[in-house]
Each structure stands twice: as structure tokens, then as C-alpha cells.
């Protein structure tokens, strides 16, 4: 009956609306099923597409279901099309092992990602300690980082078992990356909706699958927290402005990201994304998408390169303002109150700029640094800049150059996210600053907080090989997990036995400082963020910041 209804609709609706209708029918079918599993939750669970067989409960009582398809494989003719509903299967689908990660840059990304890559990668993972499907635990859906170019939902340091053991249903997922997730081209626009944000559409499809099925795992489909780090946090910010994601999550957490801005400016336009796609098609596919679809995935990934030395916002296949998934500059939507009115918890790390120094302003000498700053920000602001980013000594110069990179790539946009949601969101907002320094976590670099949030306390990148977490690290991790879970449950991180976390106010901003312990304090560096935010116009940073300016069709 559902297939017949879908077929009838497809004769009179656009492709984008047909996809939405399919997911709606899928959700309705799932919600209409009798509650036969409400008694005891076991490794055998039936979802919309069929039966799953997950892993038995671990020592903490957590069930795990891995590699669960949430959409059909985006392969062949479906490459660069909106995600389609996952196909039904017969028998019990093996959900004891992670599915392949999405195609990414060959040889790039996180060293701990050693799973095979495939275009057939749209799967998610679920951890739950619920004893019954009737429990309705809060749900947390994790979006991994990686500049929209690499990463996966199966990274060891984001294993969801520890958070699940503390009371949530944890979901992680893969979404299409790089050229596979974010190619825009006029041929694709003719096939349906504006193109280029397929990876974001994957995230939305996963959220719809969660809404339709998560009650089977003891989760509450009306209490979903979307959270992520870096590109994952940028995804959260973008989806808060997307009409396609409306109502799919009720809380938002962003770790080190917000609007997909960078040191070279703001999220790029659809026209620029189309020009980039045309340039790739002209170079590799005879000028057509059909030609690009004929190229094997591994070959295409190798011929659409990107490195950490390049800005992924302006020099890679990544999100664009397509007026479909992303209707406008996200900072403008937040400033004018058109974002999702959901509680927000967001923050950044003390040494965000360290891994981005390959793209920093020249700073061999103080004179060189200040000359580059004057060219970027204007000579009239040179005195203000020098006060905020001093360079009286070599060490101070290097520290200021790194601080500036962290501000431009991460911290300023997170600050604006907090400010705008506090002013126009009409919902509770909470800010944090992660500045933990120990033998295990010697520098609070970009992504250092993830291991604390998930309780995995996996090896930190800059720590010595034999460094292990001490009691302070473990206590801080436990507190951060409790805060995140309380927020998922109540829209407020506070709870019994935890230091009070004050709500964020735009006119009197306070943050929770995660350092030697957890303590609230005044928000730091506000003057630096105010300086940088003053360069925004209608939500966008200056186009003159493109350095060197790239023609819109230039290859990444």
C-alpha cells in the first residue's frame, strides 16, 4: 500500500518532495506497528526495513547495533542524488559490525580510521542500555568532524557505550563527504532540487530514520539532541537554519564549529559551488555529470584532492548556500531569528589554532605579521589589532598568530552562535571553554574534548605514547558526560552533584571552564571576537578575505 501511494505521488510531485513523502510513509509505518517489543529489549529488534540482530549486552548492560542502513546505497545512477529510503531486507540483518566509512581523501584523515571505505556507506550505529522499548530515554545523535572531507561514525574515541550506560540512546552515523557529498553542477540541478549539499541531506535522512525507529531501542523520538564537533558542529548550526530539518531535533550541542566560516570568509554561494563542479566535470568527465558518474569511486577521490593546508570552506567540495537545504547565510538567519528555537550548548577549545597554522598569516617577524593583518583587516584597525594580538616578543608573536587562527577558524563563529541564539532564539543557551592540560591531554587542541565527552579517554594526539589519564582526567570526563546527558534530558546541563553551570546571557556572558576541574567564570576573549564580528555584513565575512582570491571555478 505504501508503494502504491508513493507511486501515485511520484507522478505529480517533484523528486525532492517524493523523497520526503517516502520518508514520511516510512515513519508512519513504523509508528503504526504494534508494541510487541515493549516487554524486554534484546539484541533482536525489528525496524521499518526488517529485523536486526545486534551484539549482546556488554558488562555495563549496553546493547550495540552497528552498520544499520538508514538510506539506500548512493551508487551508480544514485551518486549525487538525494538519499532514498533504505530498502527492506529479508531475514535478520547482521548489526554486530560497523559498516564501511564513506569515501574520503585517500591517505587522509585520522590515523585511527582503518575501516574500509565505500560509496555504499549510509549506515548508523546505536547504543542503548534500555531494558524495554517503552522507556523513552533521551536520544543523542552524533555528527563526526573532518572538514566534510574525512571521518566516520565509527571512530574508536566516539564509541557510544559509555554515554549509553549513563542513560541516553546514542546514535552515530556516516554521511557522504568531499566530492561525493558536496558536488554541485547544473546537470544535477536539472534532476531535482539545487545540488551540492547531499552530505547534509544524508544527515537529515538519518534524523528521519531515528524519528521513525528509535522508540524500538528505548529512545524518545521527541527528545533528540543533535551534537557534533568541527564539521559536525557546523552541520548542527546549518541544520538549525534548514527548513528540511525542522522538528527533527529538540536540542543542539556544537563543539568547535557553527556557521562553516573560515579565515578566508563565509560559507560559499551556490553559484561558486556550481562553477567548481563544472570545472571538475570539464577536467574529468567530458563536461557532464554522466561522465563523472562513470568514474570509479577510488579514482574520482584521488582526482579531486584536498589537503589540510587548504581551506575546506573555500577550496574543497563542502556545504554551500543552495537555497534548499541551506536557505541563506546561517549567521544572518540566526541574527534575524529564523533558526530553530531549541536549547543550545556550545563552546570551543583553548588551542584551536594549533592544527591550522599551515594557513596562518605570515608571522616571521612582528612587522610581517602586522603588515599582513593591515592588508586583511584594514590599516585603520591596526592599533586595535595590535592590542588584541600583541607581538612584543617572539613567543608572544607566535602565540598571537596561533590565537588569531583559532579565532578565525573556530572561536569567533561559536561566540556569535551563542550570542545570536541568546538574543533571538528565545531558548536556554549554555557556553563552555575546554582548557584541560595534563600529561594525558597536554594541549587543548581542536577535537581534544571529544574523548572526555564520550568517556573513551583514547590516546591524545600530542601526548607522549605512555601517557594515561589520571584521576583528574577521569573525573572531568565523568562530569562532562553528566552535563551533556542532563542537557539531552532537560535542555539544561545542571544536575545533582555538579558545579552550577549558569545560563549564557548576551549582555553578561559566562561559561563553564573545563580545565583543572569544572567551574563557571566570565567568558574570555570577548573583545577579540567583537573585533572580528564587526567585519560581518548581512551574516557574511568580507569577500576580500579570500587570500589569494580564487576564481570560482578553480579546482580545489
Tell me, what's the pLDDT at 31? 40
Tell me, what's the pLDDT at 21? 44
Q: What is the end-to-end Cα distance of the chain in Å, rounded?
A: 46
User: Which pLDDT tens digit goes with each residue over 248-290?
Assistant: 999 999 999 999 999 999 999 999 999 999 999 999 999 999 9
User: Which pLDDT tens digit goes with each residue over 136-157?
Assistant: 999 999 999 999 999 999 999 9
Tell me, what's the pLDDT at 114? 60
The pLDDT of 343-347, averaged and rounded, is 98
Q: Quote the pTM value.
A: 0.92
User: Which pLDDT tens digit goes with each residue over 536-548?
Assistant: 999 999 999 986 5
Which positions are catalytic? 230, 352, 446
**Which has the closest alpha carbon to 176: 198, 191, 153, 154?**
198
**Beta-carbon contacts of residue 403 (< 8 Å; ≥ 6 apart):** 353, 389, 528
| Burial label, 88 (beta-carbon count in 10 A; 0-12, 13-18, 19+) | exposed
Tell me the C-alpha distance between 449 and 21, whole Å. 39
**Beta-carbon contacts of residue 461 (< 8 Å; ≥ 6 apart):** 445, 448
For residue 554, pLDDT over 50 is answered with no
User: Which pLDDT tens digit goes with each residue over 453-494?
Assistant: 999 999 888 888 889 999 999 999 999 999 999 999 999 999
- C-alpha cell belonging to residue 481: 558526560
Tell me, what's the pLDDT at 308? 79
Sheet holding 251-255, edge to edge: 63-69, 123-128, 169-173, 137-143, 219-229, 251-255, 344-349, 429-434, 510-514, 518-522
For residue 112, pLDDT over 70 is answered with no
**pLDDT range class, residue 9, cuts 50, 70, 90:** very low
Tell me, what's the pLDDT at 113? 54
For residue 391, pLDDT over 70 is answered with yes
The pLDDT of 43-47, averaged and rounded, is 98
**pLDDT range class, residue 304, cuts 50, 70, 90:** confident
**pLDDT range class, residue 39, cuts 50, 70, 90:** low
Tell me the C-alpha distance between 170 and 321, whole Å. 30
Show the beta-strand stretches assigned E in 275-379: 320-321, 344-349
Give the residue, 464 or 171, on which the prediction is more confident. 171
Tell me, what's the pLDDT at 211? 98
Q: Which domains does the chain have, with CATH numbers?
A: 2-49+61-303 (3.40.50.1820), 349-545 (3.40.50.1820)
Give just the sign of the alpha carbon dihedral 394, 398, 401, 403.
negative
CA 544 to chain CA mean position, Å:
27
For residue 529, pLDDT over 70 is answered with yes
Q: Are strands 518-522 and 344-349 parallel, antiparallel or unpaired?
A: unpaired
Q: Are strands 169-173 and 137-143 parallel, antiparallel or unpaired?
A: parallel
Tell me the C-alpha distance between 359 and 295, whole Å. 32
Q: Does residue 329 contact residue 321 with C-beta atoms inside 8 Å?
A: yes
Tell me, what's the pLDDT at 166? 98
Amino acid at each position: 500500500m505504501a508503494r502504491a501511494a508513493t507511486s501515485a505521488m511520484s507522478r505529480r510531485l517533484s523528486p525532492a518532495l517524493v523523497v520526503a513523502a517516502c520518508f514520511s510513509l516510512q515513519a508512519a509505518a513504523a509508528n503504526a506497528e504494534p508494541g510487541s517489543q515493549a516487554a524486554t529489549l534484546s539484541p533482536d529488534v525489528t525496524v521499518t526495513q526488517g529485523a536486526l540482530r545486534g551484539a549482546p549486552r556488554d558488562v555495563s548492560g549496553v546493547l550495540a547495533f552497528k552498520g544499520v542502513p538508514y538510506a539506500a546505497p548512493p551508487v551508480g545512477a544514485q551518486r549525487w542524488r538525494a538519499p532514498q529510503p533504505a530498502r527492506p531486507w529479508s531475514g535478520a540483518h547482521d548489526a554486530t559490525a560497523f559498516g564501511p566509512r564513506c569515501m574520503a581523501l585517500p591517505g587522509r584523515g585520522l590515523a585511527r580510521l582503518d575501516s574500509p571505505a565505500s560509496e555504499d556507506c549510509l549506515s548508523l550505529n546505536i547504543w542503548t542500555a534500555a531494558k524495554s522499548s517503552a522507556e523513552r530515554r533521551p536520544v543523542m545523535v552524533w555528527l563526526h568532524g573532518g572538514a566534510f572531507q574525512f571521518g566516520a561514525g565509527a571512530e574508536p574515541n566516539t564509541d557510544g557505550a559509555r554515554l549509553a550506560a549513563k542513560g541516553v540512546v546514542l546514535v552515530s552515523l556516516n554521511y557522504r563527504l568531499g566530492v561525493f557529498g558536496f558536488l554541485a553542477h547544473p546537470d544535477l540541478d536539472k534532476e531535482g532540487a539545487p545540488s551540492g549539499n547531499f552530505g547534509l541531506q544524508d544527515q537529515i535522512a538519518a534524523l528521519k530514520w531515528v524519528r521513525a525507529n528509535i522508540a524500538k531501542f528505548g529512545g524518545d523520538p521527541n527528545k533528540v539532541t543533535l551534537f557534533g564537533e568541527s564539521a559536525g558542529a557546523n552541520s548542527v548550526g546549518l541544520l538549525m537554519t534548514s527548513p528540511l530539518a525542522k522538528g527533527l531535533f529538540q536540542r543542539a550541542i556544537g563543539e568547535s564549529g557553527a556557521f562553516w566560516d573560515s579565515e578566508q570568509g563565509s560559507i560559499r554561494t551556490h553559484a561558486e559551488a556550481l562553477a567548481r563542479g563544472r570545472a571538475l566535470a570539464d577536467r574529468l568527465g567530458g563536461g557532464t555529470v554522466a561522465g563523472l558518474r562513470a568514474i570509479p569511486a577510488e579514482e574520482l577521490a584521488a582526482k579531486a584532492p584536498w589537503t589540510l593546508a587548504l581551506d575546506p570552506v573555500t577550496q574543497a567540495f563542502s556545504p554551500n548556500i543552495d537555497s534548499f537545504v541551506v536557505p541563506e547565510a546561517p549567521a544572518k538567519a540566526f541574527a534575524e531569528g529564523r533558526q530553530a528555537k531549541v536549547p543550545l550548548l556550545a563552546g570551543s577549545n583553548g588551542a584551536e589554532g594549533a592544527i591550522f597554522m599551515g594557513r596562518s598569516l605570515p608571522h616571521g617577524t612582528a612587522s610581517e605579521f602586522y603588515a599582513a593583518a593591515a592588508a586583511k583587516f584594514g590599516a585603520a584597525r591596526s592599533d586595535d589589532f595590535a592590542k588584541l594580538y600583541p607581538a612584543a616578543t617572539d613567543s608572544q608573536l607566535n602565540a598571537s598568530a596561533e590565537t588569531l587562527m583559532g579565532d578565525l577558524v573556530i572561536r569567533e563563529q561559536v561566540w556569535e552562535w551563542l550570542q545570536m541564539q541568546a538574543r533571538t532564539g528565545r531558548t536556554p543557551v549554555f557556553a563552555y571553554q575546554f582548557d584541560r592540560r595534563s600529561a594525558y591531554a597536554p594541549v587543548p587542541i581542536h577535537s581534544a574534548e571529544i574523548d572526555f565527552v564520550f568517556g573513551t579517554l583514547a590516546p591524545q594526539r600530542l601526548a607522549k605514547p605512555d601517557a594515561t589519564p589520571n584521576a583528574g582526567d577521569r573525573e572531568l570526563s565523568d562530569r562532562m558526560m553528566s552535563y551533556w546527558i542532563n542537557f539531552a534530558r532537560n535542555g539544561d546541563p545542571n544536575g545533582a552533584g555538579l558545579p552550577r553551570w549558569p545560563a549564557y546571557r548576551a549582555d553578561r556572558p559566562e561559561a563553564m571552564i573545563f580545565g583543572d576541574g569544572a567551574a563557571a567564570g566570565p567568558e574570555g576573549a570577548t573583545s577579540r571576537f567583537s573585533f572580528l564580528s564587526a567585519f560581518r555584513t548581512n551574516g557574511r565575512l568580507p569577500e576580500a578575505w579570500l587570500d589569494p582570491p580564487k576564481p570560482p571555478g578553480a579546482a580545489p
